[in-house]
Amino acid sequence: RTGESQENNELVLRFDDRGVIVRASTSIFRGEDRQVLGALMVLTDITALKRLELQIRRSDRLASLGTLSAGMAHEIKNPLVSIKTFAQLLPERYQDSDFRETFSNLIGHEIDRIDSLVNQLLRFARPAKPRLKPMHVHEVLEKSLLLIGHRLYQKDIKLTRSWEANVDTLHADADQLEQVFLNFFINAMDAMKRGGELNVSTQIGTGEEWVAAIAHGNGESQEILRITIRDTGEGIRGEDIPHVFDPFFSTKDYGTGLGLSVVHGIIQEHGGQIEVESELRKGTAFHILLPLVRFDSEVAAA
């Protein structure tokens, strides 16, 4: 007689208005002629484990917000200095029309900087839950590339694309993924100051081949859609790679460093991961790995 293990499932059971999270695993027992003799179901209470996971995620976010608060003080202080200077000089130079026009434009720009920073901070601190729907990722990639086409031309950057994935359906938020792709595209263009090549490709593989973190709850690997965004820019130092998704970490001379933190959070909310490979003076590649979900074409287009 042999036992066949079936897929683990997580369930929420209610007892006296109290929810208990359990992992259910079943085994089917068959005789020598493959006839079913019986079945065994084992329920494991994983409520404490799930609560611990939630506490860890909250602790990580609180630690990140501590870093954010320090960065916020620095980033907001600079535009506030300009606004304060204008306010102090305005009474004595009010009749100077050139002064009023110059500083009026400057104040508008500095307020926009603060507004942008606060919005990025809110997206990081309170990331919106993705509205998951069936979608084709190639369509979102093409739309995002269309938006940067003129800038690629201006910066003398050659675009190549390779859609090797014959299935590109995901259960995802198309607007959030567009934000992710645009962020990576803009970073790639900024890294190529003297022209270069931007390559965008897709492939299908399994979690075992690419990243163990993307797997079913029972540890079984599943099909993964990998989106690779590769540039021929300046590259990232090896010691900096582990920190590229830290809030306010940036290798640029400008910007807040919040963009990749927000992007990383979006991909995690979609059950995915991001891997980075880079070499100084040769370029950088970001690999976005997301669980592939096979839909009928009509469903994904709806």
What is the CATH number for 84? 1.10.287
Which of 148-152, 207-211, 256-260, 262-266 is the least confident region?
Answer: 207-211
Asked whether residue 142 falls in the same domain as residue 256, the answer is yes
Contact between 27 and 5 (Cβ < 8 Å): yes
pLDDT band for 254, please (50, 70, 90 cuts). very low
Question: What does DSSP say about strands 9-15 and 169-172: parallel, antiparallel, or unpaired?
Answer: unpaired
Tokens standing for 59? 């602790």
Asked whether residue 178 falls in the same domain as residue 112, the answer is no
Mean pLDDT across 162-168: 92
Q: Which domain holds residue 21?
A: 2-45
Asked whether residue 284 falls in the same domain as residue 185, the answer is yes
- Cα–Cα distances in angstroms (integers) from residue 260 to residues 27, 180, 183, in the given order: 44, 8, 7
Coil, strand or helix at 30: strand
Helices assigned H by DSSP within 9-168: 47-93, 97-125, 137-154
Asked whether residue 166 falls in the same domain as residue 190, the answer is yes
Last residue of a domain, one of 79, 107, 125: 125
Q: What are φ and ψ of residue 216, in 5° steps?
A: -65, 165
Q: Is residue 50 part of a domain?
A: no
- pTM equals 0.59
Last residue of a domain, one of 125, 160, 182: 125
pLDDT digits (tens, 9 = 90+) for 111-151: 888 887 777 666 656 666 788 999 999 999 999 999 888 88
> CA 257, CA 250: separation in Å to the nearest integer?
5
A 10 A CB-CB count for 157 gives 21
DSSP state of 257: S
Asked whether residue 87 falls in the same domain as residue 186, the answer is no
Q: Is residue 264 part of a domain?
A: yes
Tokens standing for 184? 């990576």
Asked whether residue 99 falls in the same domain as residue 188, the answer is no
pLDDT digits (tens, 9 = 90+) for 39-86: 888 888 888 877 776 665 556 555 555 555 666 676 788 888 888 888
Asked whether residue 162 falls in the same domain as residue 105, the answer is no
Asked whether residue 171 falls in the same domain as residue 90, the answer is no
> CA 300, CA 302: separation in Å to the nearest integer?
6
Asked whether residue 29 falls in the same domain as residue 93, the answer is no
Asked whether residue 76 falls in the same domain as residue 147, the answer is no
Count: domains in the chain: 3
Tokens standing for 29? 């027992």
Asked whether residue 244 falls in the same domain as residue 288, the answer is yes
Asked whether residue 96 falls in the same domain as residue 187, the answer is no
Q: Which residue has the higher pLDDT, 2 or 140?
A: 140
Coil, strand or helix at 196: strand
What is the CATH number for 292? 3.30.565.10
Last residue of a domain, one of 80, 108, 125: 125
